[in-house]
Amino acid sequence: MIGKKINNRYEVLSVLGKGGMAVVYLALDRDEDREVALKVLSEAAEGWSERVLRFQREFKLCQQVDHPNIIKLHDFGKVGDSSYFTVMDVIEGYDLQSVIDGEGALEEKFVLNLAKGLAAGLAALHKVPIVHRDLKPANIMLVEDEDGEAASRPVIMDFGLARSVNVTALTATGTLLGTPYYMSPELALGERADERSDIYQLGVILYEALRGKRPYKAHSIEELFRNIVSKDPVAISTLKPELAHWNIFLQRCMAKEPKERYQSMGQVEEALRALELGEIVERCGAIASVAKAYKAPEERVLFAKGLRAKRKRDNKRYLVWVPIVCLLVLFYVLFRSEGAVVY
């Protein structure tokens, strides 16, 4: 493949990476005189037609999104008579999985910026609406800055399992999709997944970035799926007490039931802003139960208003009792004084 010219336009220069479904090459776009990434679908007898459909769908879906945190695809076509290709921007940087594997737990400020970038990109996807369904650190590239260090702008890659919410999925219910460690409970059960599945996977990625390890250990795929479906991960504060303010956010993202998670990326972004400003509702724990603290961002506003109203009612009760107590004290003093005179 090296040295070949695809569609009389893209000259293949070298291999950038290989995956289960495709090989990515560095190529020179002769028409635009710039380097691009050329993703060529690997030939396989088994499931070939479905692979081609997924490949075509990936291109069509990505064409609908223009966002700095989402990979941009430019072209699609055939390689001879046997395969297909897509053309995308060359991303200079490292994938998040390599960074975590090399450094372990990442700095909180870096993870917060990572979370904001991913949430912004996913919000743009969901607006189309598109569900990614295979978010994982290996699918997230960190763009390098001018100094050659990983900057805070993550770029979401690989939309092979993405689907539009408005179309029927290629894979029937009951078939597992995605990378096992990052599957939401509904994906692990082979059920239909919506935007809230991406929210779960985002939570798992951020948990791993903060801890340096994935939420669950397992000796088999069956044990892993049991944990994902029925076992809560260890709270991040148990392992890192200085990150206790992340507890509620991560637990909410990784709730087993979709209805108990944040219901949109907009809510996730709002929660991240609160986390950044130090306004996370965990500080209300001394007054309210943990269950109340798990409310959605807009519900927390109502909850805070409720607390203020309760304080006002308590103050009114206090003001009512003050004059009554004063009168009782006055009667007591007068009674003692009269008694002393008689005696």
How many of the other CB atoms lie within 10 Å of CB of 215?
20
How many of the other CB atoms lie within 10 Å of CB of 244?
14
Of 47-56, 118-127, 326-335, the least confident? 326-335
CA angle 332, 333, 334 (to 5 degrees): 95
Q: What is the pLDDT of residue 146?
A: 57
Tokens of 57: 């769908």
Q: What is the pLDDT of residue 219?
A: 87
CA angle 121, 157, 109 (to 5 degrees): 55
What is the DSSP code string of 77-88? Answer: EEETTTEEEEEE
Choose between 2 and 289: higher pLDDT: 2
Q: What is the pLDDT of residue 179?
A: 72
Q: What is the pLDDT of residue 134?
A: 85
- pLDDT surpasses 50 at 287: no
Per-residue pLDDT reduced to its tens digit, 130-151:
888 889 998 899 987 555 454 5
Rounded Cα distance between 53 and 51, Å, is 5
Residues annotated as catalytic are 134
Whether residue 64 contacts residue 128, with contact meaning beta carbons closer than 8 Å, is answered with yes
Q: Binning pLDDT at 50, 70 and 90, where does residue 343 land?
A: very low
Rounded Cα distance between 284 and 57, Å, is 46
% of the chain at pLDDT higher than 70? 73
DSSP 3-state of 130: strand
Mean pLDDT of all residues belonging to the chain: 78
DSSP 3-state of 19: coil
Q: What is the pLDDT of residue 63?
A: 80
Of 11-15, 54-58, 201-205, 214-218, the least confident? 54-58
Whether residue 157 contacts residue 141, with contact meaning beta carbons closer than 8 Å, is answered with yes
DSSP 3-state of 9: coil
Tell me the whole-structure pTM to 2 decimals: 0.73
Instruction: Give the relative orientation of helices 108-127 and 195-211 as an angle to the nearest 10 degrees.
Output: 170
